[in-house]
């Protein structure tokens, strides 16, 4: 049996990076994290775009409807500044909102800075794709995806990626099955109910 690939859209949203004022750090950080965290083979569709609401929305629609990405991770544009419109652009093209992802990301970040309450990350479902807005800083991206552990390895706060594989499982249909997404447990442990776990 041929092992399935998961297709992941990566969208970095920044006026200055998209203009070449400085190098984009979002997409390289996301790709590096996925490479070390995923056991399942994956392919990436990457986009670097400015903070323009209509462009963000149209990019997400293209990645879902045309490129058929199973998962889309965005970075940048989720603060309270007037140019931060990623959440609005994401919600505008959503079929359903998944508020638990944003709640947990803020919970994780509050362990480090009180300004985490200013972040407005959202997660949504469009068709069979899960779209998640992540923070803009590489360190914060890793923390929210992986979660936090103390010096003894005890989990302090679960990372949001632990819930992603099972979420994608639930989006599968008979006509459109989903790849079975597996992770390296030492980076992030994918959680599934026992009835949903497949033999390795």
Tens digits of residue pLDDT in 10-53? 999 999 888 888 899 999 999 999 999 999 999 999 999 999 99
**1 lies in a domain?**
no
**60 lies in a domain?**
yes
**105 lies in a domain?**
yes
| Domains in the chain, number | 1
Average pLDDT, the chain: 94
Residues 158-162: contacts with CB within 8 Å, 24+ apart?
A: 158/104, 159/108, 159/188, 160/101, 160/104, 160/105, 160/108, 160/123, 160/132, 161/37, 161/188, 161/190, 162/188, 162/189, 162/190, 162/191
Tell me the average pLDDT across 127-131: 97
Please give the residue range of the domain that contains residue 15. 6-196
Tens digits of residue pLDDT in 55-94? 999 999 999 999 999 999 999 999 999 999 999 999 999 9
**187 lies in a domain?**
yes
CATH code for position 173: 3.40.980.10
What whole-number percentage of the chain has pLDDT above 90?
84
**84 lies in a domain?**
yes
Pair 68, 7: CB distance under 8 Å: yes
**17 lies in a domain?**
yes
Top-ranked range on mean pLDDT: pick from 8-12, 113-117, 135-139: 8-12
Residue 2 has pLDDT above 60, yes or no: no
Report which DSSP code applies to 95. Answer: S
Cut 0.85: pTM above it: yes
Strand extents, DSSP E, 14-121: 42-49, 71-75, 96-97
**127 lies in a domain?**
yes
**24 lies in a domain?**
yes
């Amino acid at each position: 049996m041929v092992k399935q690939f998961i297709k992941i859209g990566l969208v970095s949203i920044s006026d200055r990076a998209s203009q070449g004022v400085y190098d984009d750090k979002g997409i390289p950080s996301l790709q590096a994290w996925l490479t070390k965290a995923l056991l399942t083979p994956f392919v990436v569709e990457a986009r670097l775009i400015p903070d323009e609401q209509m462009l963000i929305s149209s990019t997400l629609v293209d990645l879902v409807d045309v490129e058929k990405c199973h998962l889309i991770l965005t970075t940048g544009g989720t603060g309270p500044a007037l140019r931060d419109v990623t959440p609005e652009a994401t919600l505008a093209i959503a079929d359903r909102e998944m508020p638990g992802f944003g709640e947990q990301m803020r919970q994780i970040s509050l362990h480090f800075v009180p300004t985490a309450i200013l972040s407005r990350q959202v997660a949504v479902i469009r068709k069979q794709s899960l779209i998640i807005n992540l923070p803009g800083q590489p360190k914060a991206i890793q923390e929210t995806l992986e979660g936090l552990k103390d010096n003894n390895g005890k989990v302090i706060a679960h990372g949001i990626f632990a819930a992603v594989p099972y979420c994608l499982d639930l989006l599968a249909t008979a006509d459109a099955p989903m790849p079975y997404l597996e992770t390296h447990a030492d980076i992030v442990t994918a959680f599934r109910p026992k009835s949903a776990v497949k033999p390795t």
